[in-house]
Amino acid sequence: MKWLGKPQQKAQVTRENLVAAGLQIFAEYGYSGATLEQVPQRAGVSRGAISWHFKSKNDLLEEVLNGCVLALENFLQGGAGFEEGMEQLRSAMGATFGNQSCRQLCEIMVQKSERIDENCLISLRLHRVQKHFYEQLNTLLGYAVIEGDLGSEFDVPAASQLLQVCFTGLIFECLRQPSQVSRHLASTLNVLCMMVRNPPYGWARPAPSKC
């Protein structure tokens, strides 16, 4: 680890406090409603500190978005069977909503995003979460098919896409009703496990065309 003198250490602590405050402000007011003037006040530092560390609100937002990794982005441990993998997912969802910073990041991406451009920072961060989540679901379900936990005709990509959409809705509901997180997680995951175990007709891969 690079050694830092006292001035550098103080500057690093100030920067971290500004990022933490920025996370809170963006989660509360959204990007358009937040101002850089609010951040140092929340962080308990001088107003000049924000302009010293960040050139613009967008620069601060970028560090806020990239400074926190959600547990659900890396929930799957290698070689997990279906039941074990779903339990890992349940634990990761609980950890995500049990951590204040992770919960605030979800609020920015899902509730306070005000996305008008698919290439804006918030959209790109959300797409990265969704991509990682989908890839893990695809891996988990694909392995379950190989191991015989799911039928050989199970349509893994279609099921992964559906589960991803369901979990996006679950995240929204957990943010909307924080006191009901445990109930939402338990009931939703139980239903989804049943659906995967007993898939509707549309989850079977279509038969090859004879044309």
Model confidence pLDDT, tens digit, residues 82-91: 889 999 999 9
Do the beta carbons of residue 129 and residue 109 sit within 8 Å? yes
d(CA 146, CA 87): 19
Burial class from Cβ neighbours inside 10 Å (0-12, 13-18, 19+) for residue 94 reads middle
Residues in contact with 150: Cβ distance below 8 Å, sequence separation at least 6, in sequence order: 82, 141, 144, 196, 197, 199
Q: Which pLDDT belongs to residue 10? A: 86
d(CA 183, CA 191): 12
pLDDT per position as a tens digit, 7-59: 788 889 999 999 999 999 999 999 989 999 999 999 999 989 999 999 999 99
Q: Which pLDDT belongs to residue 14? A: 93
Mean pLDDT (whole number) for 147-155: 89
Q: Is the pLDDT of residue 6 over 80?
A: no
d(CA 172, CA 80): 27
pLDDT band at 2 (very low <50, low <70, confident <90, very high): very low
SS3 label, residue 115: coil
SS3 annotation, 137-174: HHHHHHHHHHCCCCCCCECHHHHHHHHHHHHHHHHHHH
d(CA 198, CA 91): 23
pLDDT band at 204 (very low <50, low <70, confident <90, very high): low
Q: Which pLDDT belongs to residue 97? A: 92
Q: Is the pLDDT of residue 116 over 60?
A: no
Mean pLDDT (whole number) for 91-113: 90
Most confident by average pLDDT, 103-112, 131-140, 146-155: 131-140
Q: Is the pLDDT of residue 106 over 90?
A: yes
Q: Is the pLDDT of residue 79 over 90?
A: no
Q: Is the pLDDT of residue 209 over 50?
A: no
Q: Which pLDDT belongs to residue 52? A: 93
The answer to whether the Cα torsion of 31, 36, 42, 45 is positive or negative is: positive
Q: Is the pLDDT of residue 73 over 70?
A: yes
Q: Which residues of 180-204 are buried (b: 16+ CB within 10 A; e: fewer)?
A: ebeebbeebbeebbeebeebeeebe
Residue where the block lists tokens 């996305």 = 115
Q: Is the pLDDT of residue 205 over 80?
A: no
pLDDT per position as a tens digit, 185-198: 889 888 888 888 87
pLDDT: is 77 or 208 the higher one? Answer: 77
